[in-house]
Amino acid sequence: MRLNVHAFGPEDGEPVLALHGVTGHGRRYVHLAAAALPDRRVLAVDLRGHGRSGWDPPWDVATHLADLHGTLDAEGVTAPVDVLGHSFGGLLGLGLVATAPERVRRAVLLDPAIALPVAICRQRAEAAAATAGWASMEDALAARREGIAESGQGFLEEEVAEHVEERADGRFWSRFSPPAAAVAWSEMSRPAPIPVTPRPILVVRALRDDYVQDAALLAPLERAIGSDLEVVGIDVQHILYWEALDETAEEVRRFLS
């Protein structure tokens, strides 16, 4: 599937492939792209089952990776590309490094959701499958504000305007497929895809959440790629590019400069 692409930056800029998290969309990268990579061409996709891309199954990691290859080809990107992935997008970014190192130059994984505890993934998958929408846009915005620190609240009206739509049932829904999100949570419980061919990887961990797994992700990554792995932390919750845009942008800019 050729994915919908939100493109930021100059058309002749060196490309960066940006991958959002489960239930998200590519336009979430608009501010991070401007702050961190103003001279780069950031290609922020809507993953299958999300946003304005097609929603047809299957929704497993292998299919997502095939979609990314097809979309890079369609965009004319043939040289190795820098990859930026948040949460489930971090899993896909690492999956690209592991399965197609010839396509990846470097990877930045923002609080990647990889090899998570099974119980957490089951709970999140069941919650995603039971999504029921909201009675109004105001209710959608109020729900989105829950759990987001004050520093990230300024992005939420834009987020809801982009990602919530009224459907035929009169309710307001986020633009993602609940079954696709449930499958993504299942995939996040699998063992980490560890690269055989090293590529420089930066993991930016959100210190107020527990997505990044030391034993299941960082330890095997370090054994596999050694000094090509760098890990830094930012004292915020999971959506770093909302709660700490400037700090997140600085780490991305530094690593991909």
The helix/strand/coil state of 147 is coil
Catalytic annotation on 60? Answer: no
Q: How far apart are the first and last CA of the chain?
A: 31
Cβ-proximal residues to 99 (8 Å cutoff; 6+ apart), any chain: 65, 193
* Beta-bridge partners for 18: 44, 84
Helix axes 178-187 and 88-99, enclosed angle (nearest 10): 60
Residue carrying structure tokens 């709970």: 123
Query: How far, in Å, CA of 201 to CA of 180, rounded?
Result: 27
Cβ-proximal residues to 60 (8 Å cutoff; 6+ apart), any chain: 183, 187
Supply the DSSP string of 36-58, one letter for each residue.
H-TTSEEEEEPPTTBTTS--PSP
- Of 53, 87, 177, 189, which is the active-site residue? 87
E strands in 147-190: 164-166, 172-174
Catalytic annotation on 238? Answer: yes
Catalytic annotation on 227? Answer: no
- Of 56, 73, 214, 235, which is the active-site residue? 214
Give the active site residues: 87, 214, 238
